Amino acid sequence: MAGTSVSPAPVALSGLSHRARNFVEVHGICVPRQGIRHHRDAWLGHGIPAAEIDRASAFQDRWGGLALPPAPFYEGGPRILAADCPEGSAAEGWSFPAGGCRVSMAYGFMIGPDGEFGIDASRWTPLHAGTDGWVESLALAFHAGRWARTVTKITGNAVESLDLTGYEPIPEVQGITDTWWRGQDSLIAIYRGEAVGLDTPRCLEAHVYGGLDEWGLRGG
């Protein structure tokens, strides 16, 4: 089945912050996406619940075909957001792919049973409560990297020593395993997904964006 023709210029997505909408519109590209509804009968025949197929189709309608700049961790994240065949069971819950990796990886990107965006590594590890949160985190990293006077990367056990007193969590990223924190003049991103999902503490990493003014801290 031929891909669905779409405009190469993404439009603003409802529910995102102004910063994230601007990021998607200016830096995102929409490519032709494959429809998945024509797989419905075949997937039903393989025992995949209709509700899970509908969930994957809804993701494809909102996000399918959207290519965004690389993330600063997870080897850049999915190359293009795209749903595929749900997998799982009633006992363990159902998930579906969120898009192919940019490079060869030890895990894939998945949408979890409750809509979480995460990685399927040695264990399922939700990073954000939804795909909106993943996109918000990309937008925030892009913004902070542009306006910060300094960017410091901290790895391994040293991340646990970060003093977050006086920092507030940034809610729009919908952090679960990964979180963002806002201080008086800095932003901190903590990436725990690989450390948790691969059971490898040395993969823990934090990025500290320093020297930010009010615009740099929020960006809209």
For 9, the token pair is 């210029």
Task: Give the model confidence (pLDDT) of 19-40 as tens digits.
Answer: 999 999 999 999 888 789 899 9
Q: Is pLDDT of 5 > 60? A: no
Task: Give the model confidence (pLDDT) of 69-97 as tens digits.
Answer: 999 999 999 999 999 999 999 999 999 99
Q: Is pLDDT of 163 > 80? A: yes
In this prediction, residue 2 has a pLDDT band, given cuts at 50, 70 and 90, of very low
Task: Give the model confidence (pLDDT) of 39-76 as tens digits.
Answer: 999 999 999 999 999 999 999 999 999 999 999 999 99
pTM of the model: 0.93
Q: What is the mean pLDDT of residues 181-210?
A: 97
Q: Is pLDDT of 129 > 70? A: yes
pLDDT recorded at residue 3 = 47
Residue with tokens 């934090």: 206
Q: Which residues pair with 125 in a beta bridge?
A: 119
Buried b (16+ CB within 10 A) or exposed e, 128-164: bbbbbbbbbbbbbbbbbeebbeeeeebeeeebeeeee
Q: Is pLDDT of 7 > 70? A: no
